[in-house]
Amino acid sequence: MISLVSSVLRPKGLRTEKLEGAEVFRGTTLVKRGFAHMLKHGVIMDVTNVEQAQIAEDAGAVAVMVLDKLPYDVRRAGGVARTASLEAIQAILDHVTIPVMAKCRIGHTYEARVLEEAGVDMIDESEVLTPADEKRHIWKWDFTTPFVNGARNLGEALRRIEEGASMIRTKGEPGTGNVAEAVKHIRIVNNEIRRVRAVYEDGDHEELIRIARELGASYEIVAETGRLGRLPVVNFAAGGIATPAECGLNDDSRMRRGLRRLRNLQV
Amino acid sequence: MKRLKIGVFGLQGDIEEHVAITRLALARMGLEGDVIWAKTAEDIKSLDGLIIPGGESTVIGRLAEYNRALKTVKERIYEGMPVLGTCAGLIMLARKVYDRVVGEVRQPILGVMDVVVERNAFGRQRESFEVNLRIPVLGEEPFKGVFIRAPAIRGMGPKVEALCRLNEIVVAAKQHNMIGVSFHPELTNDTRLHQYFIKIVRDVT
């Protein structure tokens, strides 16, 4: 059984419908977080067009992430980076069988709505694009489509999950080909989880709630993280991961301790 | 009694969830057994039963072809080793596979079970759903079916028996030592399907 911690009661993204005469529930926490579990031990590749998406699929990618420009080019071009064109997304949806994800700007609820309508399988509320709201993230429980968010530490990860993220990717330095930042953030999250786990196992509730306040997350999700000894949702390593060896590094047993690991390869 | 050894095909997908629920099912049945990640042909050879997890069937198939485990799995299944495939696992077992949108697909599969499977038959992730299923072989109590970009069985040979239907669509089937289901019992606490599978493993071992 996967963890359903922090699910909100009757979220707007939950849809009850009839299918083949039966009552079915779409957009439940189980269905959204469960989707991320199916990607585990896989590689998600950044792509900008159908040709790249098909290469990724043939090469064994577990999903593709559609961007207008690859992170390297986003950094170089400067200016405002937005979500990918709907034509490109639609073409990719029509030509690959693996899941298709796309990025929207942080806090840009309506870019996310457009992506949901387009039918992408997961939305990445991503810092690689220019934030649309510099203070707030999208309330992701309003969506039937699951979200993934970036995080550099445990507090960020748990806050994003409480906003409705179904998957976390520990951030790296996108578009650099330098894996050091990805490694650093996994280490940080792992070390923080180790501490929470030790406190949880000692049954020290006073310290757990103090940590929760420090992290800006609820007592409930901090305690669940301590009980599980890992994040309550699947985690991917992302950013600057360019070769199979770097995927291996991020899937290594010492790295994965405390994390539901996955890796994110950028082409 | 012999200690059972059950492997979860450990290349890609929700492997840990299957390992966990299989251990729980063994414990609930009061049986001794080992549940391992089976990655290589050598691992597969040592098993009494195999579970092919959910994940991306294209990835599992390609990796299994690359590390040459695919052939061994096929041989073992023909020899009678029981196998349970969930979601991507059902796709791996099928004789023929096509995608709802893309149509004909070229991907390495086992092709051992006489079923035709449509990938993404219920739509994309936004259309994924939970539903209470009736599975007569598992008893009266409804079984929570978690369908994630799920496949459906669109055609069955004469030796295949439908275990569960969603109205007219077959979502679980059995052929001798092979069980294929469209949904993900491993994401729930309900061990009945795994217990049903373990009983088959025990009976042939």
pLDDT, tens digit, 9 for 90 and up, residues A204-218: 999 999 999 999 999
- Please give the biggest Cα pair distance in chain B: 49
* The domain defined by B4-204 carries CATH number 3.30.497.10: no
Average pLDDT over residues A66-70: 90
Residue in B148, B166, B169 closest to A35 by CB: B148
Stretch 178-197 of chain B: residues touching chain A, C-beta under 8 Å? 184, 187-189
- B163: tokens are 């275990």
Catalytic residue among B17, B118, B186, B194: B186
> Is residue A67 over pLDDT 60?
yes
Which residue on chain B is closest to A95 by alpha carbon?
Answer: B102
Stretch 45-64 of chain B: residues touching chain A, C-beta under 8 Å? 54-56, 58-59, 62-63
Annotated catalytic, B186? yes
Query: Best of A41, A65, A90 to disrupt the B interface by mutation (most B CBs within 10 Å)?
Result: A41
Average pLDDT over residues A177-185: 87
* Residue A211 sits at the chain B interface (C-beta within 8 Å): no
Antiparallel, parallel or unpaired: β A122-126 and A147-151: parallel
pLDDT digits (tens, 9 = 90+) for B79-138: 999 999 999 999 999 999 999 999 999 899 999 999 999 999 999 999 999 999 999 999
Domain ranges of chain B: 4-204
Instruction: Give all strands (DSSP E) within chain B, no chain letters.
Output: 4-9, 33-38, 49-52, 83-86, 94-99, 103-104, 113-119, 129-133, 143-147, 152-156, 161-166, 169-175, 178-181
Predicted local confidence at residue A253, as pLDDT: 53
User: Amino acid identity of A262?
Assistant: L
Contact predicate B6/B201, CB 8 Å: yes
Which residue on chain A is closest to B12 by alpha carbon?
Answer: A41
pLDDT digits (tens, 9 = 90+) for A2-31: 999 999 999 999 999 999 899 999 999 999
Stretch 96-125 of chain B: residues touching chain A, C-beta under 8 Å? 99, 101-102, 105, 119-120, 122, 124-125
Distance CA A34, CA B58 (A): 19
> Is residue A76 over pLDDT 90?
no
Distance CA B151, CA B116 (A): 10
The low-confidence residues of chain B, meaning pLDDT below 70, are none
The H or E element that residue A247 is part of is helix A244-250
User: Amino acid identity of A100?
Assistant: V
Query: From the CA of B13, how many Å to the nearest CA of chain A?
Result: 5
* Residue B39 sits at the chain A interface (C-beta within 8 Å): no
Record the pTM: 0.95
ipTM of the predicted structure? 0.97
Q: In this structure, what are the phi and psi dihedrals at residue A81, rounded to the nearest 5 degrees?
A: -105, 125
Predicted local confidence at residue B78, as pLDDT: 98
Predicted local confidence at residue B38, as pLDDT: 97
Chain B residue numbers touching A96 (CB-CB < 8 A):
102
- Expressed in angstroms, the distance from the first to the final Cα of chain A is 34
Annotated catalytic, A103? yes
Would you call B187 and A119 a contact, using CB atoms and an 8 Å cutoff?
no
